[in-house]
């Protein structure tokens, strides 16, 4: 079904663009105000979180809850054990998720959301520290927080000053700042980040070669240095990776023979050739602990399709570009 769309008049289009830019400028101003308002309370909040063995539970109502869900996800993916719980659900049994070793991060722009009262009273009774995030330092939330992360009071971009816009942006930015400071304090590495992101291109690039190989990597095809040409061709064909490892008598890697090397060998007397005659010595290799993104960069920089994984200079697996493309590591 085709829907006819009537274009706006030039004046209406210009007015919409002006309004959109005004909203963006208001958001920029809100972030600048937040930048000037951040104080040592953020550090004290981090100290509390880092000093507690249990989870950081994030809660908030309405738009604050949506932002809280994102903050919890960011915290969890960057080294801080966190999850989001809806405050209304807490009043109907989910307060049991607040164990004595947890910390509560409660978000409310006004600080007076009635759904937060039960969780806050429960935390006071059970001695669970609360980190509040609000614009109002005299609110019920702020008064019941061990540390209050107070945001500046700025006008919403909504013309009625009602729909949460600048306030949710500030909350999101403050949550990101908290997560990144905690990440730095924990020394959370890219490898650890990759463990939490096994899916998608980002997660795959952060995996190690060991992760890619699995617990039973297929052994690469190998031939001896003096293997005749026909044996080299058979080994490449059977290995189905477009290359074969040439190994010394002690099993260490001496070189590599690829499909291209075989084709080029046909300009010579193949009846007299052995693996050592056509191999490329000192091929590029990686260890099983290498990051997959580095492996892909190494293959791209050297314009190679195959790369051996070695341990003690012995080939234990082979990385082939076609497999990486099939698995989604390379697009």
Q: Is 114 left (phi over 0), alpha (psi -120 to 50) or beta?
A: alpha
Query: What's the pLDDT band for 212 if we cut at 50, 70, 90?
Result: confident
Query: What's the pLDDT band for 67 if we cut at 50, 70, 90?
Result: very high
Report which of 298, 292, 311 is spatially closest to residue 219, judged by C-alpha positions.
311
2-23 pLDDT, tens digit each: 777 888 898 999 999 999 999 9
DSSP 110: S
116-148 pLDDT, tens digit each: 999 999 999 999 999 999 999 999 999 999 999
Highest mean pLDDT among 53-62, 231-240, 313-322: 53-62
Percentage above 90 pLDDT, the chain: 70
Beta bridge partners of 134: 150
With 70 as the cut, is the pLDDT of residue 47 above it?
yes
Could you tell me the sign of the dihedral formed by the alpha carbons of 8, 9, 11, 14, in that order? positive
CB 156 within 8 A of CB 170: no
Distances 38 to 42, 92, 133 between C-alpha atoms, Å = 7, 35, 12
Q: What is the pLDDT of residue 198?
A: 60
214-260 pLDDT, tens digit each: 767 788 899 999 999 999 999 999 988 889 999 999 999 999 999 99
Tally the C-alpha atoms within 13 A of residue 11's C-alpha that lie toward its C-beta. 0
pLDDT, averaged across the chain: 91
Give pTM, 2 decimals: 0.70
Query: What's the pLDDT band for 190 if we cut at 50, 70, 90?
Result: low
Report which of 38, 51, 79 is spatially closest to residue 183, judged by C-alpha positions.
79
Report which of 37, 28, 26, 64 is spatially closest to residue 171, judged by C-alpha positions.
64
Query: What's the pLDDT band for 326 if we cut at 50, 70, 90?
Result: confident
């Amino acid at each position: 079904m085709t829907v006819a769309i009537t274009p706006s008049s030039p004046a209406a289009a210009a007015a919409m663009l002006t309004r959109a830019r005004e909203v963006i400028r208001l958001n920029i101003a809100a972030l600048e105000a937040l930048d000037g308002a951040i104080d040592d309370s953020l550090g004290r909040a981090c100290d509390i979180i880092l000093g507690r063995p249990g989870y950081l539970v994030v809660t908030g109502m309405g738009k604050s809850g949506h932002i809280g869900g994102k903050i919890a996800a960011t915290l969890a993916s960057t080294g801080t054990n966190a999850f989001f719980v809806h405050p209304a659900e807490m009043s109907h049994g989910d307060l049991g998720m607040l164990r004595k070793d947890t910390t509560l991060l409660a978000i409310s722009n006004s600080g007076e959301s009635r759904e937060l009262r039960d969780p806050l009273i429960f935390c006071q009774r059970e001695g669970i520290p609360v980190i509040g995030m609000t614009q109002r330092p005299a609110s019920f939330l702020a008064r019941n927080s061990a540390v209050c992360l107070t945001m500046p009071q700025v006008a919403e971009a909504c013309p009625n000053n009602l729909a949460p816009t600048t306030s949710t942006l500030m909350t999101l930015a403050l949550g990101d700042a908290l997560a990144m400071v905690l990440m730095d304090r924990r020394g959370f590495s890219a490898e650890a980040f990759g463990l939490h992101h096994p899916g998608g291109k980002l997660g795959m690039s952060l995996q190690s070669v060991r992760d890619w190989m699995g617990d039973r990597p297929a052994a690469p095809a190998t031939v001896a240095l003096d293997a005749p040409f026909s044996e080299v061709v058979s080994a490449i064909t059977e290995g189905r990776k477009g290359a074969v490892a040439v190994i010394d008598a002690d099993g260490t890697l001496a070189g590599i023979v690829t499909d291209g090397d075989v084709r080029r060998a046909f300009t010579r007397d193949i009846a007299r050739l052995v693996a050592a005659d056509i191999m490329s010595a000192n091929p590029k290799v990686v260890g099983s602990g290498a990051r997959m993104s580095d492996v892909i960069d190494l293959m791209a920089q050297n314009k190679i399709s195959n790369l051996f994984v070695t341990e003690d200079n012995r080939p234990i697996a082979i990385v082939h570009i076609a497999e990486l493309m099939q698995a989604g590591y390379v697009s």
